[in-house]
Amino acid sequence: MARNMSVLRRALLYVPSSSTRMLEKSRSLRVDCVAYDLEDSVTSGKKAEARAALREFLSQPRPASIREQSVRINAVPSGHALSDLTEILASPNVDSVVVPKVDSASDLHFVTNVIHHFRDTSDSQASPLQIIASIESAKAIMDLSAICKASPYLTGLIFAAEDFANDLSLTRTPSLTEFLYARAAIVTASRAHNLPSTIDLVCTNYKGEMGPKILREECLDGVRHGFNGKQCIHPSQVEVTQEVFSPSEEEVIWSVRILIAADKASTRQGRGAYTLDGKMIDAPVIAKARGVVRKAELCNFDVDTVKAKWSHQEPE
């Protein structure tokens, strides 16, 4: 099955399924992905109650302002995962499942088999449930290649920094340098296996004057390291996160100009490389420009207007 490359998860916001108030509030949010949580935010004694509340909540018509409705189930070894999946797979309004603490391919094999059992996957017109795997341990980092190949429904990886730090006895610092190896490994594996989503660590600072500043710095750092989204733990983090992980107006204009000039250089002059504003433009630059424009379109950027404005662009 081909990967769904039109996935857009600039912000993935966790919402506790144990809170009716937070569930209802989430319907008013404008966010790429809401992950209704059955794992960390729900105590063991409240798991069944939270499942039932979430199933009832997800039976309502879906809000247009939420692009993707996801559910974070409990980890496969926890003993709760099958009950979680049985409950949520009955709802047509669930688009994806976040699988936490994925240590090996077998975790995703289990989830995939349950999806096959409870959902009709023979309908070629139906959108299959997507899987997002949360990478939280040294074992998972060492087994990334097998994890990425474990399910045709896998469309993204999440880096869970706090659990990873606990597993390796690391101390989280503002520089995040202690996570460089793990973050690079996750991004590299995602690209190598054509997974459209690479979702960065949670920013734990969201209150006070410094909260938005630290969040923005972390988002920019994530972009520089190849991530295309970030986990959020509070609705106040969503706007900044989605802004930073969207192409800027300048990036879109430059990319459109590159593509218009590239088409003319290729079709009229038979050139695969050319110059624009004194800069050499070749195949890798053109490919990146296509990616920027494609993402801008997913972000509802008015790309057609930019193309019309720069239709006269010529290669130098």
Q: Give the tokens for residue 273.
A: 């490389």
Q: How many CA atoms lie within 13 A of 207 on its CB side?
A: 0
Question: How many other CB atoms are there within 10 angstroms of residue 2's CB atom?
Answer: 6
> Rounded to 5 degrees, what are φ and ψ at 242?
-70, -30
- Calpha distance 216→47 (Å, rounded): 34
Q: Show binding-site residues for Mg(2+).
A: 136, 163
- Residue 221 known to be catalytic: no
- Calpha distance 228→196 (Å, rounded): 9
Q: Show binding-site residues for substrate.
A: 72, 136
Beta strands in the chain (DSSP E): 11-16, 31-37, 66-72, 96-99, 130-135, 154-159, 197-200, 229-232, 274-276, 279-281
- Calpha distance 83→52 (Å, rounded): 11
Q: Find tokens 């880096």 and name the residue.
A: 159
Q: Nearest CA to 223 among 203, 246, 204?
A: 246
What is the three-class DSSP state of 188? helix
Of 37, 167, 263, 282, which one is the catalytic site residue?
Answer: 282
Q: So which residues are the catalytic ones? A: 282
